[in-house]
Chain A
Amino acid sequence: MNALPLTAWIDGIGFLAPGLPDWPTARAVLRGEQPYVAAPSILPAPAVLPPAERRRASRVVKLTLAIGLEAAAHGGADVATLATVFAASGADGHNCHALCEQLASDDRQISPTRFHNSVHNAAAGYWGIATGAMAPCQVICGFDASFGAGLLDALGQVMVDRQPTLLIAYDSEYPEPLHAKRDTPDCGGVALLLSPERSARSLAAITVTPSRETAEILADGELESLRCDIPALRSLPMLQRLARGEAASVCLDYLPPMQLRVDLQPC
């Protein structure tokens, strides 16, 4: 059969990156209305978690709750009803380091909390506990191609299951010595609320097709560094067009030689 175009409506956006604490700030910077000022990522305390979990919430849990809730609020959606797709190049790097360090020591009695937080789907699990969402929850890893892999699966859920789906693509850093082997500099991510039907909240229609072209890069050197250094931010060329409200066709990096051409039609 011929491939159907993968298409959906973008109803909400959440964003967090170094120097860009939320989507309104990122939008202004991407529109050229204010300069990019480099700064460490600011991760808000997740008020939505029960107190015991809030105290223990790791950086990836704070990151995913921040961007996921921002996108859902932007789109006016009830998070408890949303299917989710989490896409991340790695899990909680600090927790991983602590476990590996202890397992290499004479005392291998690791903490049970550290163990259950070591799974790649830890942030997704806390999302469920925080939001009460019992809908399907996908958790993907594609290394540097994680955003594209997450986008493909999220569009598949929107089109096949005809349900609004929240894509939460995010990455975080490893401490040393793993940092020398995987140098993601800081936390960053993007969340897109994707719907099968157009609504009053819809920002744009998105259509994704496979491509072999070269991905678009960003003119601003610092933003281009973010695009290259944080896999979820391979989405930045697309987000720049969304920020500007422009109809556009941009090519994003996915998994060589396969790239993703993203067509945007603003509402």
Chain B
Amino acid sequence: MTPLLISAHTATTCLGSGLDATLAALRAGRSGLAPCAFESVRLDTWIGEIAGVDAQVLPAHLAAYDCRNNRLAQLGLEADGFADRVRATIARYGKDRVGVFLGTSTSGILQTELAYRRRDPETGALPDDFIYRTTHNSFSLAEFARDYFGLEGPAMAISTACSSSAKVFAAAARLLALGSIDAALVGGVDSLCLTTLYGFASLQLTAPQPCRPYDAARNGISIGEGAAFALLERAPAAPEAGSLLLLGTGESSDAYHMSSPHPEGLGARMAMEAALRSAGLQPEDIDYLNLHGTATPANDAAEGKAVTALFGDRVPCSSTKGATGHTLGAAGAVEAVICALALQHNLLPGSPHTATLDPAIPVDYLLQARQGRVRRALSNSFGFGGSNCSLILGVAA
């Protein structure tokens, strides 16, 4: 693909709101995970909850969108002056020339979970104040963002579980390449809800302590929430030195199982190979890998096999889910932004909570953050249903 300019980006997770807080935490090796005290959930697990989400008040004309997921979307959009960058981009290109491509796995389902506690005892009806379209539905997030900025062009939610907000970069890149749009608001938002907390617990995939990606004793995930966004535009022929670029995208399917990865990591490997092909790069051109690294025994083993097969132990890599938790449908965008920080600050992030590396996975895994030259970074995101996506970001010379 022709490289695209990432003209603005931002992330909000349990590490904090915005790039400065995220960068400081990554540098310090700080984790934002804490024992689960979300809503009425009683589970022995740690989560990455973001402070202040429910204090967000949506604009009056968008009140129908009010739910935790869209409150988090607004919190995330307003961080780092990102929303103002979006508005300036719209002013430059026009309201119908900026597309919206946002990933989410559960959107505002929490709103429905709460509404089910308030059903009419006689009829079973849901309360009148519950609005399905603008809260629960997967498109609610993308439609909220489109209306937030008064956009009139194409918009879509991509919902492929934990690869959702990586795949938005690929979808936006296609419509940018064809000239259907001049800029794209891409990203992902997922927020805590009972479905994912009790659901991953039912699969025995939630860890009773903070998650430990790639640790020999890893025993499950820590669920997080997050909102991360980027603006994509076609790049000038000679991008300014230091500009952030999207260099390649790769997508594949496991065609194996609904909730377990292909044991050899075949789909994961195909996605990374496709991203390298898309970017016209070789494995040795990559300076840092941000792993999917959920910290379940099966996921890290499968991804580790794929990484070893392609990169050997030559490329420094880490999963940052020990810091942010697994932000599910937001993870692709959160970790793309972490790669952007790695590129801009020559920072190789570490892996808080991971202590003893799994000797069965012979990769160059970073426990602690360190400085190092990063010109190109690859980020992996893999989801339920066997949906895989790898992104390659770079910085212009």
Residues of A within 8 A of B (CB): 1-4, 6, 89-91, 96, 99-101, 103-104, 108-112, 114-122, 124-126, 128-129, 131-143, 145-146, 149, 152-153, 156-157, 159-161, 176-178, 180-182, 210, 254-255, 257-258
Contact = CB atoms under 8 A, between A and B. Distances in A.
A111 B202 contact: yes
Contacts of A133: 253, 255
Contacts of A109: 198, 202
A142 B173 CA distance: 19
B178 interface: yes
A118 B385 CA distance: 11
Contacts of A114: 199
Contact of A128 (B234, B266, B385): B385
B254 A128 contact: yes
Given A91-B138, A132-B255, A210-B96, A121 B159 contact: yes
Interface in B140-157: 140, 142-143, 146, 152-157
24 contacts: A4-B178, A4-B180, A104-B117, A110-B202, A111-B202, A112-B202, A115-B195, A115-B198, A116-B199, A120-B138, A125-B258, A126-B385, A133-B255, A136-B170, A136-B274, A139-B385, A142-B155, A149-B155, A157-B174, A177-B119, A182-B137, A210-B153, A254-B154, A255-B155
B171 A100 contact: no
Contacts of A110: 195, 198-199, 202
Contacts of A258: 96, 152-154
B156 A140 contact: yes
B47 to A, nearest CB: 16
A146 B173 CA distance: 19
Contacts of A122: 258, 385
Query: Interface residues of A: mostly helix, strand, loop or mixed?
Result: mixed
Contacts of B167: 138
B48 interface: no
A3 B158 contact: no
B139 to A, nearest CB: 4
B120 to A, nearest CB: 8
Contacts of B240: none
Contacts of A126: 258, 385
A6 B152 contact: no
Nearest to B389: A136
Contacts of A111: 202
A116 B274 CA distance: 27
3 nearest A-B pairs in the assembled complex, by CB-CB distance: A125-B385, A115-B199, A156-B174
B175 A152 contact: yes
Nearest to B181: A3
A86 to B, nearest CB: 9
A161 B250 CA distance: 11
B112 interface: yes
B138 A141 contact: yes
A254 B254 CA distance: 31
Contacts of B259: 112, 116
A101 B119 CA distance: 10
A104 B127 CA distance: 14
A257 to B, nearest CB: 5
Nearest to A122: B385
B311 interface: no
Interface string B97-130: 0000000010001001100110100001110001
B177 A124 contact: no
Given A139-B159, A142-B156, A258-B96, A89 B195 contact: no
A208 to B, nearest CB: 9
B171 A119 contact: no
A46 to B, nearest CB: 15
A124 to B, nearest CB: 6
Interface in B221-270: 234, 251-259, 266-267, 270
Nearest to A111: B202
A141 B137 contact: yes
A96 B112 CA distance: 10
A97 to B, nearest CB: 9
B138 A134 contact: no
Contacts of B199: 99, 110, 112, 114-116, 118
A153 B383 CA distance: 20
A176 B124 contact: yes
A183 to B, nearest CB: 10
Nearest to B138: A141
A121 B202 contact: no
A158 to B, nearest CB: 10
B387 A124 contact: yes
A116 B161 CA distance: 10
Contacts of A138: 158, 160, 167, 171, 251
B213 to A, nearest CB: 21
Q: A111, A178, A181: which has the most chain B beta carbons within 10 Å?
A: A181
A103 B132 contact: no
Interface in B187-207: 194-195, 198-200, 202-203
B387 A100 contact: no
A255 B154 contact: yes
A108 B179 contact: no
B68 to A, nearest CB: 15
Contacts of A146: 139
B257 A129 contact: yes
Contact of B254 (A91, A134, A257): A134
Given A120-B138, A141-B156, A115 B202 contact: yes
Contacts of B130: 181
Contacts of B112: 96, 100, 178
Contacts of A157: 174
Nearest to B116: A104
Given A103-B198, A122-B258, A182-B133, A143 B179 contact: no
Contacts of B383: 119, 121
